[in-house]
């Protein structure tokens, strides 16, 4: 019986903590936050594989990236990064991810931002700035289907302004000397950009001891909830309008999970102005700031 050595195993990823403002001291690196799927690429003696953030083997979905990884100048490696669907200008388009994974996987790209293992050496106890240097040496020029996440050192506030101006989802900041540990760590933090947009009000959810939440829709589809943070005068006007426009049941398209006895449903005709985190696929950390009647 042939004695095969074990394959490299998936490592639970390091997860950044979300913060309101980026760190400004010079011992931080700053990178773009790519809007895609967190992915770990592993190459060992039996070939390359690609795993989702939860450790599911998605090699078949990402087959072009797996093939490219097998051509890297290494015998064994573990790369941490983001799988994206890049537009011609390089910006990630999350809404294209599922389509490309199904039909055009060759149009995906893997943006590597860390290296955890290389040719028999576990690099997780190596400072980040040194890991990134090893990563660059491995995948340079990194302009093809496997790319490199560039960074700047220091200047977090200026970097965030540039990210906002470019319309990107946000940024990730990492301590330059940080080691790699699985799970949530404050050595990595993410700062997301905000957007303000108009949403249709579906109903008002009131639960004892919790903020009042407005259930919202966009283009006829349920979008999530937004805390009602209106000034007193505007809030009272909204309550009056909700009372006048009460509906017996929720509109079509509201998922079962969003329904309940503590919700006052309203008829169409109220549009809320909502502040929300950019790049999310349902409203998150959202607040209703104003409303108008159609």
Q: How far apart are CA 40 and CA 236, in angstroms?
A: 50
108 neighbors 65 (Cβ within 8 angstroms) = yes
- Catalytic annotation present for 218: no
Q: Which residue has the tokens 């950044």?
A: 16
**Under a CB-based contact definition with an 8 Å cutoff, are residues 29 and 153 in contact?**
yes
**Contact predicate 171/159, CB 8 Å:** yes
- Catalytic annotation, pick one of 33, 190, 192, 205: 33
Neighbour tally for 244: CB within 10 Å:
11
98 vs 31, 66, 105, 167, 238, CA distance in Å? 24, 17, 9, 22, 39
What's the length of the chain?
294
Q: Which of 259, 249, 289 is nearest to 273 (CA)?
A: 289
**Alpha-carbon gap, residue 80 to 34, rounded angstroms:** 13
CB 87 within 8 A of CB 125: no
| β-sheet with 170-175: strand ranges across | 14-19, 183-192, 170-175, 28-32, 152-153
Tokens standing for residue 105: 């996987």
Catalytic residues: 33
């Amino acid at each position: 019986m042939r004695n095969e050595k074990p394959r490299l195993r998936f490592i639970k990823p390091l997860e950044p903590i979300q913060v309101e403002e980026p760190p400004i001291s010079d011992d931080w690196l700053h990178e773009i936050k790519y809007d895609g799927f967190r992915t770990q690429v592993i190459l060992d003696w039996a070939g390359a594989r690609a795993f989702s953030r939860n450790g599911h083997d998605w090699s078949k979905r990402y087959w072009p990236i797996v093939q490219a990884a097998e051509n890297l100048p290494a015998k064994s490696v573990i790369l941490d990064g983001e799988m994206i669907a890049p537009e011609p200008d390089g910006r990630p388009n999350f809404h294209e991810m599922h389509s490309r994974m199904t039909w055009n996987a060759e149009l995906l790209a893997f943006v590597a931002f860390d290296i955890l293992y290389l040719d028999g050496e576990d690099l997780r106890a190596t400072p980040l700035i040194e890991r990134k240097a090893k990563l660059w040496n491995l995948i340079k020029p990194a302009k093809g289907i496997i790319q490199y996440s560039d960074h700047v050192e220091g200047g977090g506030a200026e970097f965030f302004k540039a990210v906002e101006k470019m319309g990107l989802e946000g940024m990730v900041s990492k301590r330059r000397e940080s080691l790699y540990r699985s799970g949530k760590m404050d050595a990595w933090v993410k700062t997301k950009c905000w957007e303000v947009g108009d949403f249709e009000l579906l109903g008002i959810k009131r639960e004892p001891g919790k903020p009042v939440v407005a259930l919202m829709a966009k283009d006829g589809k349920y979008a999530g909830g937004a805390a009602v943070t209106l000034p007193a005068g505007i809030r009272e006007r909204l309550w009056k309008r909700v009372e006048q426009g009460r509906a017996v049941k929720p509109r079509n398209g509201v998922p079962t999970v969003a329904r309940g006895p503590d919700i006052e449903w309203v008829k169409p005709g109220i549009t809320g102005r909502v502040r929300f985190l950019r790049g999310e696929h349902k409203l998150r950390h959202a607040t209703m700031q104003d409303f108008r009647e159609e």
